[in-house]
Structure 1
Amino acid sequence: MFVKVCGLSTPESVRIAVGSGADAVGFVLTASPREVTPAQVRELLDQVPAGLPAVGVFRHETAVAAVAVAREAGLSWVQLHGGRTPADVQAVHDAGMKVIRAVTMSAPPEAFGSWGEELLLIDAAVPGSGEAWDYGSVRDKPLKGRSWLLAGGLDPLNVAEAAAQAGAWGVDVSSGVESSRGVKDLAKIRAFVAAAKSA
């Protein structure tokens, strides 16, 4: 099970995520309680082993603007939320970077097709709510043979069951490993990665 821990903002939280076996880490570079600056990300990258995907998360920014900020932060992966087009994915690829494209369960059917992104992230119909949802409903989407991440409302207690219900290739967590909004709980990070890897 591929595990991404997102919204990291301190050296300790990055170190614990990596040390627990996370396969990718995410840094929020858009307006959010978890937002960090490109300069902060460059420092946090000292805790990330070479070759482990470190992802810059963007919501309303254009793909070109996201690429510029990600480059400033020293990142080579960009995660795009919001209304996107295949041209956005192409713009990131043209810059020599890799793409995680995020869609919500309420997106139109064509959004679940492959646009050439490295990973597709599937979130709840209302992203950011931190609430669990009908994970099994993902099985209705055209994802056979694709690499994709389940997100939304996941925590150490439900991730194994949710991943099984959805048939997930991987999982992504942020609020589910926090002690308060934007503050990561190191014990929860460890527990989440362990639970996901046991799925």
Structure 2
Amino acid sequence: MYVKICGLRSPEHAMLAASHGADAIGVVMSEPSPRHATPEEASAVIAAARTENPAIDTVLVVREMAAVDAAAMANNLGFDVLQLHGGYSAPEFAKARALHPRIWRAASLATTPGLRAGTYDEERLLVDSAVAGSGESWDLNLINGAELGLSWLLAGGLNPDNVADAIRSARPGGVDVSSGIEIAPGEKSPELIERFIAAARSV
């Protein structure tokens, strides 16, 4: 099970996630978000995660930023992956991928019926709630019958207490968490990070 811990701004939390077996860490760079990181914070998180696990995927998460600008920022800061949230078009993905080859797409079955991994030639598809980053749970029955393909991650409303059941129900290739490991918006809990990774690995 591929596990991504997202919304990190603290090097200590990045090292913790990496040391407990996270496959990826995500940094949000979107100013309306309480998880928005500065370039300096992003660089520190990347360095800390790689110190613990050089093979970990570091993911830049953006929305409402021009895709090519986001790709350039991912390159400049040294991220492995660019994750685009929202209504980006296939041509926008293609332009970003020309600059930064590893692109993930985040979308919702509630707003984008017929989702399938790879439609935009993305490396992975992240299937989220209708309001990304809200921590809101959503009806996993929407996944029934959906032809999502193999390379997709489940997100939205996950936490250490429900992630194992969600994996059993939806059978994703991986899981992504942000608000579900927080004690306040943007404030991560080391205990919840550890518990989430352990629960996801238990299935």
Decide whether the 8 Å contact of 1:112 with 1:142 is kept in 2: yes
Q: Which residue of 2 is the match for residue 30 of structure 1?
A: 30
Within 2, Cα distance between the matches of 1:65 and 1:161?
Answer: 38
**1:190 corresponding residue in structure 2:** 194
In structure 1, list runs of 5 or more residues that go unmatched. Answer: none
1:72 maps to 2:90: no
Task: Give the secondary structure class of the aligned counterpart of 2:144.
Answer: helix
DSSP 3-state at the match of 1:140: coil
Alpha-carbon distance in structure 1 between the residues aligned to 2:96 and 2:80:
10
Unaligned runs of 5+ in 2: none
**1: distance between equivalents of 2:25 and 2:176?**
9
Partners of 2:58 and 2:99 in 1: CA distance: 16
Superposed, which structure 2 residues align to 1:30-109 within 5 Å? 30-31=30-31, 32-49=33-50, 50-109=54-113
Moved more, 159-168 or 67-76: 67-76
Task: State, as a whole percentage, how many aligned pairs show the same letter.
Answer: 41
2:136 is the counterpart of 1:152: no
Conservation of the 8 A alpha-carbon contact between 2:71 and 2:97: no
Give, in whole Å, the separation in 1 of the partners of 2:194 and 2:202. Answer: 12
1:175·1:182 contact (CA, 8 Å) conserved in 2?
A: yes
The alpha carbon displacement at 1:39 in A equals: 2.1
Is residue 140 of structure 2 the alignment partner of residue 135 of structure 1?
yes
Backbone CA RMSD of aligned residues: 1.4
**CA-to-aligned-CA distance 1:121-153 (integer Å, 9 cap, x gap):** 001123333122222321321123x21000000
Whichever residue aligns with residue 168 of structure 1, its letter is P
Q: What is the CA-CA distance between 1:111 and the residue it aligns to?
A: 4.3
Contact 2:133 2:178 in 1 (8 A): no
